[in-house]
Amino acid sequence: MTRMEKFEMLEGAKSMGAGAATIASAGAAVGIGNVFSSLIHSVARNPSLAKQLFGYAILGFALTEAIALFALMMVFLILFVF
Amino acid sequence: MSEIFSVFVLGFCFCFYVSVNTWHAYRIIQINERLQKPMTFKITWKDGLVITPWERPIGPTHGPSDPSSPSGSPVKDALDLAQDVPHSPLDQFAIKSFLDMRVGYLYISFTNPAFFMLLTLGLVFLLFHLVTKKGGGKSVPNAWQSLVELIYDFVPNLVNEQIGGLSGNVKQKFFPCISVTFTFSLFCNLQGMIPYSFTVTSHFLITLGLSFSIFIGITLVGFQRNGLHFLSFSLPAGVPLPLAPFLVLLELIPHSFRALSSGIRLFANMMAGHSSVKILSGSAWTMLCMNDLFYFIGDLGPLCLVLALTGLELGVAISQAHVSTISICIYLNDATNLHQTFFFVIFL
């Protein structure tokens, strides 16, 4: 196996790893949907607190999005560093 | 006093920026001169591999040899000299040192992040000074004063709200540290949104350093305030005794993970956002440069996506500074009021 063939196999394996690692954002998607669904429910119950609840919802969104970005960071790590 | 400092810092940054760009221009002239020689179409790498230029693999596998000792092939020399030509979307995060300084084993060189941190400092000081000179602003604020008041007022509200159960004097002791952390991360994040700028917080060394230091500080504050009783933090009330050792060990893991998670959250958001924008805009630019009408019209898609992603990036920059500050306040609350929650907000 020449060096070029080995290199191409490595690049292919990296792409496969990156594609597999992207599946983790499915969990984050469910979580973010959960947060905003709770926001809608709670605002429907108590519309006078809408502003404060929206603040909490944005906080929850940012924290959940961080997990999706942990997964994205692993993708970039696999794709461009190894 | 602070106007002198901010002008000095900004002037320093400007001089460095000009000198670095002059150095880059000199390098480009070097490369052009090297490319004037007739090019052979084979590249010989150090370990004897001989390939043609269009087989050259893209990415960090292009290992440059020492550029000051030219080899026989001008293309390889040109590629060696052009080490700062971006090959991958992660090259925007490269740390270049402007001034190499060494003290034994310690490298204290003046690097890219150091320059941009100084720039952030100068800009923040300049903004706050320009708004509050001549006696602290007007009673009817203009837009800049409203912005500065917004940034400043954000932290005392947070401190008062999150850290319950202490008197006002004690709580306000934490205010300067948290305010500086918030302002620093906010302005560093926002500064990365300027095109061709460098995001300081997109390096995990910087954000982990910040979050580790603050975590160690919070632990010290917990011990100082509660004595050894601080260790009872790991054991919630009403737990049967045989379960206690496992619970303590289990509680230590999320407790120490907090230090890591604050730093990694900020780093991952900034890095992933900037990498995504770089990848998408690279593809949008490529589509724009292909001589094809369909690609030109279809380029609207990636361009709109880049616009939307940049808007999202701005929101993420502000919201991640907010989230990291809130999480610091929550950890402080946990350390000083060991599990006695006065509010219904319970986070990990």
Residue B164 has pLDDT above 80, yes or no: no
| Closest CB from B60, B272, B323 relative to A59 | B323
Tokens representing B195? 């095109």
Average pLDDT over residues B125-134: 83
Query: Of residues B109 and B40, which shows the higher confidence score?
Result: B109
Q: Which one of A4, A62, A70 has the shortest CB-CB distance to B319? A: A62
Query: What rounded mean pLDDT belongs to chain B?
Result: 78
CB of A65 within 8 Å of a chain B CB? The answer is yes
- In this predicted model, what pLDDT tens digit does every residue of B276-313 receive, in sequence order? 899 898 888 888 888 788 888 888 999 999 999 999 99
Is residue B188 scored above 90 in pLDDT? yes
CATH: 1.20.20.10, 3.40.50.1110, 3.40.50.300, 2.60.40.10. Which one for A3-81? 1.20.20.10
In chain A, the residue whose alpha carbon lies closest to the alpha carbon of B52 is: A4
For residue B63, the model assigns a pLDDT of 47
| Residue bearing the bigger pLDDT, B283 or B138 | B283
Strands (E), A2-65: none
Answer whether B320 touches A (CB < 8 Å): yes
Considering only CB atoms, B269 lies closest to which of A4, A59, A69, namely A69
- pLDDT tens, per residue, chain A with 82 residues: 788 888 889 999 999 999 999 999 999 999 999 999 999 999 999 999 999 899 889 889 988 988 888 888 888 889 888 7
Residue B180 confidence (pLDDT) above 70:
yes
Q: Which residue has the tokens 């925007």?
A: B92
- The torsion angles phi and psi of B103, rounded to 5 degrees, stand at -125, 90
**ipTM of the predicted structure?**
0.76
Query: Which residues of chain A have a CB within 8 Å of the CB of B264?
Result: 66, 70, 73
- Among residues B217, B212, B218, the alpha carbon closest in space to that of B233 is found at B218
Question: Residue B348's pLDDT is what?
Answer: 39
Distance CA B184, CA B189 (A): 8
Q: Do A80 and B265 touch (CB under 8 A)?
A: no
Say which DSSP state B110 is in: E
Name the closest residue on chain A to residue B47, using Cα atoms: A3
pLDDT score recorded for residue B347: 46
pLDDT for position B309: 92
